[in-house]
Amino acid sequence: MAVFVQREAFEVDQHYDFLVRENPGAAVVTFTGYVRDHCGAGEVSALELEHYPGMTESVLANIGQQAQARFDLLAWRIVHRYGVLEVTDPIVWTGVVADHRGAAFEACEFVMDILKTDAPFWKREHLQSGTKQWVQARSLDAARRERW
Amino acid sequence: MLTIRFFSMIRESLDREEMTLDWDEGLVDINAVKQTLADTNGEHWREVLFQGNLLHALNQRVVRPEHSVADGDEIAFFPPMTGG
């Protein structure tokens, strides 16, 4: 059970290894979110993430604990970067371990859906054209959060 | 004294990252804090701090603007989150 909020790049494999070693279970589901190379306004050259130090860590820990209680998780881990990221860099990684796949799938979705709307991160896209623009919150993300 | 923090578009729009506000009994809730900041800093601050989608955090938890505040609290203003 751990939260990592960091400027540095991270290795997905390393976190996966720690997760499954921490408390082996029958079902493991992970999600990795990467910086995409395009957006509605054009080609993206980098992605900047601002966050609220202190609040970010406590919100992510709370989301993990909620998921653990709700889906009876054996282990979970959430990693999220901030700062300036390059295209194709992993932004976020979530891994959950449960006894059954249904709970693991649901828990991973739960963590990501809540994280998208509740964790204090704000993205700004750097476009190839030189423009920088803040990413607007999407109603789709709010709707997905409402499911839980 | 209250600590006020601004993030993302709100920080940029107000050109302010953090500030303090002397404690006053009249600061009964976050709305009163926003009102004081707007009265002190002008119409642009009023537009930014009273825009519909603004989120408010009190001591690092998101709360409604009617939430009461106390001396020593940390208040933050920011737009909807876009992490993940």
Q: Identify the CATH number of the domain in which residue B42 sits.
A: 3.10.20.30
Measure CB to CB from residue A121 to each of B60, B76, B82 and give the nearest one: B82
User: Which tokens is A48 given?
Assistant: 């900047």
Fill in the amino acid letter for A70: R
DSSP structure class, residue A47: E
Question: A59: closest CA among A111, A137, A136?
Answer: A111
Between positions 12 and 41 of B, the ones with CB within 8 A of A are none
Contact A117/B at CB under 8 A: yes
* Biggest CA pair distance of chain A: 48
What value of ipTM does the predicted structure carry? 0.94
Binning pLDDT at 50, 70 and 90, where does residue B2 land? Answer: very high
Model pTM score: 0.95
Three-state secondary structure string covering A54-93:
CHHHHHHHHHHHHHHHHHCCCEEEEEEECEEEECCCEEEE
DSSP structure class, residue A137: P
A26 within 8 A of A99, measured Cβ to Cβ: yes
Alpha-carbon separation of residue A112 from A41, A58, A142 (angstroms)? 25, 15, 12
Is the pLDDT assigned to residue A38 strictly greater than 90? no
Residues of B in contact with A91 (CB under 8 A): 84
Q: Which residues contact A74 (CB under 8 A, 6 or more apart)?
A: A23, A24, A25, A97, A98, A99
Is the pLDDT assigned to residue A110 strictly greater than 80? yes
* CATH of the domain spanning A2-146: 3.90.1170.40
Bigger pLDDT: A42 or A132?
Answer: A132
Mean pLDDT computed over B36-42:
96
Q: Are B80 and A137 inside 8 Å of each other by CB?
A: yes
Mean pLDDT computed over A43-57:
97
Is the pLDDT assigned to residue B21 strictly greater than 90? yes
Residue ranges of domains in chain A: 2-146
Question: A111: closest CA among A51, A49, A65, A57?
Answer: A65
Is residue B84 included in any domain, yes or no? no
Residues of B in contact with A78 (CB under 8 A): none
CA A84 to chain centroid, in Å, comes to 16
Alpha-carbon separation of residue B67 from A54, A108, A115, B54 (angstroms)? 21, 32, 23, 14
Measure CB to CB from residue B84 to each of A50, A54, A92 and give the nearest one: A92
Domain count, chain B: 1
Count of A-B CB contacts under 8 Å: 68
Owning domain of residue B65: 2-78
Q: Which residues contact A5 (CB under 8 A, 6 or more apart)?
A: A51, A53, A56, A57, A60, A80, A81, A82
